[in-house]
Structure 1
């Protein structure tokens, strides 16, 4: 009976490949005879090869290889398996269609002199936290101003509009009564405005826009006719109740399309400007209770009302808008 072959628990890499018995010495006799003793390393037994092996853990063992090229392939495969565990590592550089190089970064796209609009967009997108929110707001608004996208409101045009209306529809006495308070408050407004920078004036306009947003909600919840106009008279907000009083749509009472004095009788408009002029710079008095006659947009119908108005001022104590409430008397 033939002698039973001894079971080998370990074999070197080269004995395994040749399917020969390894004597378990390191280096083994066969590798010594082949003059590759320095490459003789342990390998898995046949039983071990049949067991499932986790590839990343096996690759991380980094055994000694026959050639340096095998080693580089091992490293590449190990890197690939790592990328499978973390897909972010495998993200390739973004390439433009038909190009062989990565797209230039934002900085490269703006190497030349940037335009004012580009400067504004870059400033607005800058998430810098090295300044206070107020300083950052001023910086962004300044950039927007330089880009021509935001400008201080031109009140001179508002006064010109009022003057043209008076010349066309009012008698000489009424014009003089309105011009008297305006001749006092307009120079004071101009003096303050000249002492401010454009950025400060834009900040005032920014405050006006925020005020409009707040009154949008207030007017919607009110059942009393109400509207808001600038100190030169142009209406910028109103609720539907006021629109019904003057026979026009709410969409006609925005962006200065109509002025409050255009919806009052001549005597009521004069009364308003005189009372407004008397408290324009009086911090202690904000609201005035009086009466007026509203008229429809086409001028055919009049509505007597109890009328109160409140002056809202900006940070420089200049009236930025007037809010009026009206209670029809009939």
Structure 2
């Protein structure tokens, strides 16, 4: 009797354990359905996608407008076949043809389709040959439109640095005529903008500095970041010299540019555009640092670029030259516009002597400041010192000046 009871109890316990195991295996919520074809961004990230377009993952990453499917190889083949048929001669339903003519027409369609597919393959396999061919056409003048485009110095890795060096060279040759911005707008590939949004939304693994570098490079390739164009600064200096300085003063400034021109060329010819973008990032950080410094000091001070455009000044300097503080920002005024003619020439001469000398960075001299209004003839005598801040390539990026008024 006891044996039968134990057997019955074991038989009753097995169904209960199976029921408990089945309850544990059940999923909470609806079962996730596998998607046959993921979008291009979920597919690249190896993440789960859904049937919606845009999918929920792309919507959460704020790139829903870019969500799409990659075309299948069969779709590409159908598109190529449709393109081949569209290029062939149209057939009229009312036209009667013999069987021999119909076969010839089919052979022509197949030959045209094969030529189109072969041409697409050649374009994918030989991009360098096409580039070399275009270079040869531009070099030997076979295309008049290409030969009329402006040509920048080929010795420079960056077009912006080449333009700045060209303007300095033009200064030495002639002062007649206005310098133009010779930087042409280059057409960017369509996928660079898409690449920037993908990189910004989902950067690869690594440190924060590595991720920031990836985002900056992608933003630069998309055309959203550009180096500062110093050509406009030299053009502004030329206009000011033509209308406000004598020939002797202009010649003295030209002599200064002739002294640092070779040193500038030796450094600038190896810089690329991305290097100049990083230099601009360092310049913006300097502006933030000096914003705190200028607000805590009581001496009139301002800072400007190597071409003279003032980008920051404190309220003491604004009161000294009698201009609004807002005018001492974003290059609205130049430092030489606030100096008397002899003082401006003296500044350029002393700046040129130490511009590319890493062993010197500060100069103590004197100057006469004035209001930029031509009708104002009063000047202020000051003890003037300026310090040159150079970037990591030893090119002057910021000049910081302090002015102490001296009573006559």
TM norm. shorter chain > 0.5: yes
- 1:153 equivalent in structure 2: 228
The offset of 1:118, in angstroms, is 2.8
The offset of 1:123, in angstroms, is 2.2
Kindly provide the CA deviation profile for residues 237-282 of structure 1, in whole angstroms up to 9, marking residues without a partner as x: 1111111112222221111111100111111111100000011111
- Within a 5 Å distance, the mapping from 1:256-271 to structure 2 comes to 256-271=331-346
Distance between the aligned counterparts of 2:15 and 2:371, measured in 1? 91
- 1:34 equivalent in structure 2: none
- 1:225 equivalent in structure 2: 300
Larger Rg belongs to: 1
Whichever structure has more helix as a proportion of its residues is: 2
- 2:381 equivalent in structure 1: 304
Residues 174 and 270 of structure 1 are in contact (CA less than 8 Å); yes or no, is this contact kept in structure 2? Answer: yes
- Does structure 1 residue 324 correspond to structure 2 residue 401? yes
Choose which of 16, 37, 49 in structure 2 pairs with 1:63: 16
- 1:51 equivalent in structure 2: none
Distance between the aligned counterparts of 1:167 and 1:122, measured in 2? 50
Distance between the aligned counterparts of 2:245 and 2:313, measured in 1? 25
Unaligned runs of 5+ residues in structure 2 are 34-49, 71-188
Distance between the aligned counterparts of 1:114 and 1:313, measured in 2? 36
Residues 193 and 201 of structure 1 are in contact (CA less than 8 Å); yes or no, is this contact kept in structure 2? Answer: no
- 1:273 equivalent in structure 2: 348
The offset of 1:122, in angstroms, is 2.4
TM-score normalised over the length of structure 2: 0.56
- Does structure 1 residue 119 correspond to structure 2 residue 198? no
TM-score normalised over the length of structure 1: 0.68
Unaligned runs of 5+ residues in structure 1 are 1-23, 29-37, 43-60, 66-70, 84-88, 94-99
Distance between the aligned counterparts of 2:291 and 2:208, measured in 1? 29
The offset of 1:64, in angstroms, is 6.7
The offset of 1:185, in angstroms, is 1.8
CA RMSD of aligned residues (A): 3.4
- What is the aligned length? 260
- Within a 5 Å distance, the mapping from 1:175-254 to structure 2 comes to 175-254=250-329
Distance between the aligned counterparts of 1:289 and 1:176, measured in 2? 24
Residues 225 and 239 of structure 1 are in contact (CA less than 8 Å); yes or no, is this contact kept in structure 2? Answer: yes
Residues 144 and 150 of structure 1 are in contact (CA less than 8 Å); yes or no, is this contact kept in structure 2? Answer: yes
Residues 203 and 211 of structure 2 are in contact (CA less than 8 Å); yes or no, is this contact kept in structure 1? Answer: no
Kindly provide the CA deviation profile for residues 60-91 of structure 1, in whole angstroms up to 9, marking residues without a partner as x: x97279xxxxx69x9569958xx6xxxxx889
